[in-house]
């Protein structure tokens, strides 16, 4: 077959003929849905064992290539939907052939428009390769082949897998309960760790999002105020989708730390914890991630009283670093008292977390208690109705009794600006609290 039969010139560029979506010939307006079309052709090649794309392939009737080839690009599946079909098909008879399973899972390293990985890349017989910069033999990087022991390296994968000999899990030591299931105590390379389980398959997408975001952040920098993701581990328990291992915080959550002390935590220590939290949130902000669930319960405290941002199950990785960018979330799970005004319209911005941080400050100076409004005249109104009514009237939570007035006026109230673009930045919060601590020695 001549090269001209496969490629054509377009605007002085050579483009692949049989991998090109119809919009190349019409509007020339291409998008990631155009890549979905091409992806369907790649699947065709795989199931026809590399045959000529001009030939007939009966496998197209059995797999979902035809969905990728919808003439209306809006009706083609998204890469997230492709991911879901991958997971379903990997365990079906349609994909039982070892070669097809191997090739299909190798295709799982393809990424969507925001760099999201199409499949979770973990499963039986997972092949592994060393993560750059790691020492020892207990932490390795997951690659993609679920059915063979091929050791092909893929250093672009984010997820880590821990060897069976490197991790000890204490099944009788339950140290907490998260949104996905129990959190157990573990031991990894002579250090205590927390082992987070996902038992409900319906929650796996959020569970996966959490460990992928943590791992991406770690790959950029091991930040002292972000809980450290250590790796994935297969419990080989059919009732548990997967577990991941993370840094252990001896003092549990910030709420537990504040409420369990025999003596109240001093103001300076509270501000140091809040400064740590702002420092971690600054790093998240700079990496175009919205946490979407920032509360004192989701901030951990280590033995040395360092605060760690955790629980990224509702986090959103943005496509842009434009500061006034917003995105809509359908049926968002919101904790009302921490919600910014835009969340009432299911809208989130890069500064939505800043509002929540101001509420965390209230929690800290209330020694772990939730803030609230005087609702003595509320009648039969529920908490959400009272909250939104007060916020829309311009009211804000009152200054806690033990909170320095400057912190309330110059940090918390500035977190609660209705216009999210006017809210104080996290790096300014870090600077302000640091200056306050220097000017008010304990």
Binding-site residues from annotation for ATP: 197
Q: Which residues are annotated as a binding site?
A: 197
CB atoms within 10 A of CB 421: 10
Closest CA to 329 of 360, 363, 295, 352: 352
The number of angstroms, rounded, from the C-alpha of 89 to the middle of its chain's C-alpha atoms is 25
| Separation between Cα atoms, residue 47 and residue 331, nearest integer Å | 38
CA distance 141 to 438: 43
Burial track 59-74 (b if 16+ CB lie within 10 A, e otherwise): ebeebbbeebbbeebe
Using alpha carbons only, give the angle 267, 270, 271 rounded to the nearest 5 degrees. 90
What would the two tokens of residue 95 be?
Answer: 């994909």
């Amino acid at each position: 077959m001549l090269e001209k039969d496969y490629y054509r010139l377009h605007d002085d560029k050579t483009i692949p003929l049989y991998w090109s979506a119809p919009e190349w010939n019409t509007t020339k307006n291409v998008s990631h849905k155009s890549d979905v079309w091409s992806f369907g052709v790649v699947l065709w090649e795989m199931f026809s064992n590399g045959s000529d794309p001009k030939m007939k392939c009966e496998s197209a009737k059995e797999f979902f290539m035809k969905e990728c080839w919808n003439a209306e690009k809006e009706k083609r599946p998204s890469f997230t939907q492709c991911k879901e079909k991958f997971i379903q098909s990997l365990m079906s008879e349609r994909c039982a052939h070892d070669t097809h399973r191997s090739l299909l899972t190798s295709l799982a390293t393809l990424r969507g428009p925001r760099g999201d990985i199409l499949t979770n890349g973990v499963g039986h017989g997972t092949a592994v390769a060393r993560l750059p910069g790691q020492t020892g033999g207990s932490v390795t990087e997951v690659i993609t082949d679920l059915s063979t022991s091929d050791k092909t390296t893929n250093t672009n994968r984010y997820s880590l897998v821990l060897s069976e000999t490197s991790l000890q899990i204490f099944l009788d030591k339950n140290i907490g309960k998260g949104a996905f299931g129990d959190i157990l105590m573990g031991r990894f390379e002579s250090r205590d760790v927390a082992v987070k389980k996902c038992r409900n398959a319906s929650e796996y997408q959020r569970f996966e999002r959490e460990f992928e975001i943590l791992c991406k952040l770690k790959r950029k920098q091991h930040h002292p105020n972000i809980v450290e993701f250590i790796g994935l581990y297969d419990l080989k328990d059919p009732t548990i989708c997967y577990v991941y291992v993370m840094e252990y915080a001896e003092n549990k959550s910030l709420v537990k730390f504040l409420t369990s002390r025999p003596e109240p935590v001093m103001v300076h220590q509270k501000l140091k914890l809040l400064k740590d939290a702002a420092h971690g949130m600054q790093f998240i902000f700079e990496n175009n991630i919205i946490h979407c669930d920032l509360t004192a319960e989701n901030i951990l405290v280590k033995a040395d009283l360092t605060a760690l941002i955790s629980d990224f199950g509702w986090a959103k990785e943005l496509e842009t670093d434009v500061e006034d960018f917003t995105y809509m979330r359908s049926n968002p799970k919101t904790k009302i008292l921490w919600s910014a005004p835009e969340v009432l319209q299911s809208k989130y911005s890069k500064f939505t977390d800043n509002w929540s941080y101001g509420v965390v400050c209230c929690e800290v100076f209330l020694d772990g208690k939730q803030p609230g409004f005087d609702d003595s005249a509320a009648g039969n109104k529920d908490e959400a109705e009272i909250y939104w009514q007060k916020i829309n009237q311009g009211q804000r939570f009152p200054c806690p009794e033990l909170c320095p007035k400057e912190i309330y006026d110059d940090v918390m109230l500035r977190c609660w600006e209705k216009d999210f673009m006017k809210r104080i930045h996290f790096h300014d919060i870090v600077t302000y609290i640091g200056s306050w601590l220097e000017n008010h020695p304990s």
